[in-house]
Amino acid sequence: MSVTVAGTIALDSIETPASQRTDLLGGSASYAALAASFSSPVYLCSIVGTDFPKEHLELFHAKGINTDCVQIEEGKTFRWSGRYFDDMNQRETLSVSIDVLEKFQPRLNAAAGNTTVALLANMSPENQLAVLSQSSPQAFVIADSMDLWINIAKEKLLEVLAGSDLFVINEGEAKQLTGTSNLITAGHRMLALGPKHVVIKKGEHGAMLFGEGHFFNTTAFPLHEVADPTGAGDTFAGGIAGYLSKLNKPKGSVTFADLSSAVVSGTVLASFTCEAFSTDSLITLTQADLDARRELFRSYTAF
């Protein structure tokens, strides 16, 4: 009962209409690993530079996240900076500094290669395939992606889809990948590309889950204020991975109902990420807070 999360670890600088913060813990793997750790032990696979703050590694350890597969290379950690517009739904990238991430060749040790769930968080499809090749055939494979890889590495991305038990993508990227503006059609077109299930993330409007002959839709948790939505999608994917790992089922026994519940769990976790900058909410979040919001969300969606 454990999860391998492979992806990027970054240092982010973020500007919103209300505030600005620099050198924050970021990256797809950071958010996803912290989210998954609420339900399951986590093995983290990524790369950082020698400038990466020691306190972030200590945070991972404190949350039960094993970092033996995090490579520390001479140089600087991957950095990203961005600015959000007034509605907090749109953002622009101000700068990207790849640095040591360019050297990343994922390497799983025996324990990380033998987990219940393997989450291929957003990173190059080539690196996702490398992790997939080192993961147990019995692992439930979740893969996340973004528009960049559709543009520059579509062939490899399609290989990732074909090897996934659950493929996760946002609505704009789903439309881009499938060539349709209809999300229902997009979901089914992606299923035809090989993954057993597909999730389309719709931000503040929730998420849609597709399976052969099955469909599930959930709203997002309603928030009064959004401080920083960075990493919400990665948190969502990590929450799904942690929930499925906790079930401790062979992947062939995971039902659509299990996946629907996992999507709800990821949705609730993602709502916390939006309420503070970076991973701040995930760091301070208690199990009691998480359980209470799950129950509140259930009351909002019951009829």
User: What CATH number does the domain containing 27 carry?
Assistant: 3.40.1190.20
Number of C-beta neighbours around residue 71 at 10 A: 16
pLDDT at 9: 98
pTM above 0.85, yes or no: yes
The number of domains in the chain is 1
Distance from C-alpha of 140 to C-alpha of 126, rounded to nearest angstrom:
19
Point out which residues pair with 197 in neighbouring strands.
Answer: 166, 211
pLDDT at 90: 86
204 HSE (CA, 13 A, CB side): 13
pLDDT at 1: 86
The DSSP line for the chain is --EEEES--EEEEEE-SS-EEEEEEESHHHHHHHHHTTTS-EEEEEEEETTS-HHHHHHHHHTTEEEEEEEEESS---EEEEEE-TTSS-EEEEEEE-GGGGG------TTGGG-SEEEE-SS-HHHHHHHHHHS-TTSEEEEE--HHHHHH-HHHHHHHHHT-SEEEEEHHHHHHHHT-S-HHHHHHHHHTTS-SEEEEE-GGG-EEEEETTEEEEEPPPP-S--S--TTHHHHHHHHHHHHHHHHT--GGG--HHHHHHHHHHHHHHHHHHTTSSTTHHHHH--HHHHHHHHHHHHHHH--
Distance from C-alpha of 97 to C-alpha of 79, rounded to nearest angstrom:
5
> Cβ contacts of residue 7 below 8 Å, gap of 6+?
27, 28, 29, 32, 45, 46, 119, 120, 121, 122, 123, 144, 234
Distance from C-alpha of 146 to C-alpha of 126, rounded to nearest angstrom:
14
Which residue ranges in the chain fall short of pLDDT 70? none
Residue for token pair 């290379």: 73
pLDDT at 290: 96
Task: Give the residue numbers spanning the domain of 212.
Answer: 3-301
Distance from C-alpha of 123 to C-alpha of 150, rounded to nearest angstrom:
12
pLDDT at 301: 86
Contact 75, 99 (CB under 8 A): yes
pLDDT at 303: 72
Contact 120, 7 (CB under 8 A): yes
| Pick from 79, 29, 23: nearest CA to 55 | 23
**Pairing state between β 166-170 and 140-144:** parallel
